[in-house]
Amino acid sequence: MKYQNIPQKSASPLADQQHLNLLQQDICLPAVILKHSALLHNLQWMQNFADTSGVLLAPHGKTSMTPWLFQQQLAAGAWGITVATSYQAQVAVQAGGRRLILANQLVGKANMAVIAALLASGNEIYVCIDNIDNASALSDFFSAENLCLPVLIELGVPGGRCGCRTNQQAVELAQQLATLPGLSLAGIEFYEGVIKSTDTARTVRQFVQQAAALAKALFRQQLLQYPRALISGAGSVWYDIVAAELKKATLPDTMQIVLRPGCYISHDLGIYQQAQQQVLARSNTACRLDGNLQNALELAAYVQSLPEPGLAVLGFGKRDAAFDAGLPQAIAIYRNGQLLSDKLSQCETSKVMDQHAFWRYDNTVQPQVGDIVLLGTSHPCLTFDKWRSLWLADDNYNLLQSLETCF
């Protein structure tokens, strides 16, 4: 047995072993695995949804920040990659992305310098804007570098996050942008995921209609200075409504519609599973596709201690999985490679600490220290970012490849 010299959170110390299997205790736990079959299915499902809807896909890379996944998304037909920061833009370009939406404002000299360098290398990068001071600073910076930065005006909602609050504000900003030499207005960006109302679906529809009206107004007033203008919205919750409303809006022919869902890649067994059930209840397009999104991400941890009847302490914690939208919940328990139970819905992860979780089990299962528990999670973004590498696994938990993340 040879000790691997470079430590990694979920590595295997069995460096001379070719065939690693999670259930055989071959790797250090806790670990996160991505199921290859479910990933491939999800990649194809969302690309099919976009193709069938007649829209383009720029999956949000911030979810996984995993270059190998970016490459799969591009190979499956994605138009580009969406990112949230200049750092993420660098990672996406290094993974092979040549067309990026920075779905955020670009602020600060060092952040601007990163984007300028990517732009100067021939990449196509769209940056969001909602403020004239920011626009002036960007124009000064990019024109000093002899560059022209394509920007998207962000439209927001009252009480929401970034973005102009009214179409009038957005048109005024567009008129100001036209005077700035370092910027070129390329379209509209919005994010409907922050909307909460008594009838959220309806409010989302109205907001998308408002964005479409803004795009048409900017087009009519010849304020869109970029050859092929964009309109881009949609996270993983309302993408069906965004696609449908933007198609209905009869936008100018030269305008491209770009959706930016991120969480579909791994999906989850929590808030995004619930959201997707609503998508299927609403969207004929989604229903007609093959199957549905599948959970591809599982957390594996040992039963570490059995200190009291009905309580197991599992060897994972806040360091290893998202805990902001429901705690990871067990879906199966294995002993010596054999399934003990996958009927665990009466058991509950009741609490997480930094490195431990409390698992309350009922009398249908008799865990022992050393059993492996597989858990589904809620909110994949905040599970991905706990790991420098993830394992790609087949359906029998054979480990196919270690995937590097770049958070």
356 touches 303 (CB < 8 A): no
d(CA 190, CA 152): 9
The residue written with tokens 């070129």 in the block is 184
Nearer to its own copies, 244 or 390 (CB): 390
| Minimum separation from the CB atom of position 319 to its own copies (A) | 6
| Token pair belonging to 9 | 């959170």
Nearer to its own copies, 314 or 392 (CB): 314
The residue written with tokens 């107004």 in the block is 217
Nearer to its own copies, 27 or 265 (CB): 27
Instruction: Identify the three-state secondary structure at position 213.
Output: helix
Nearer to its own copies, 156 or 328 (CB): 156
Nearer to its own copies, 255 or 375 (CB): 375
| Minimum separation from the CB atom of position 144 to its own copies (A) | 10
Check residue 21 and report its DSSP letter: B
d(CA 371, CA 80): 42
Type of residue found at 117: A
Type of residue found at 301: A
- Cα-Cα-Cα-Cα dihedral sign, residues 327, 328, 330, 333: negative
d(CA 300, CA 333): 10
| Minimum separation from the CB atom of position 24 to its own copies (A) | 8
d(CA 129, CA 170): 10
Nearer to its own copies, 60 or 99 (CB): 60
102 touches 108 (CB < 8 A): no
| Minimum separation from the CB atom of position 244 to its own copies (A) | 25
| Minimum separation from the CB atom of position 278 to its own copies (A) | 20
Q: Determine how many CB atoms are found less than 10 A away from the CB of residue 249.
A: 17
Nearer to its own copies, 245 or 320 (CB): 320
| Minimum separation from the CB atom of position 167 to its own copies (A) | 14
Cis ω on the peptide bond leading into residue 67 (within 30° of 0)?
Answer: no
| Minimum separation from the CB atom of position 334 to its own copies (A) | 12
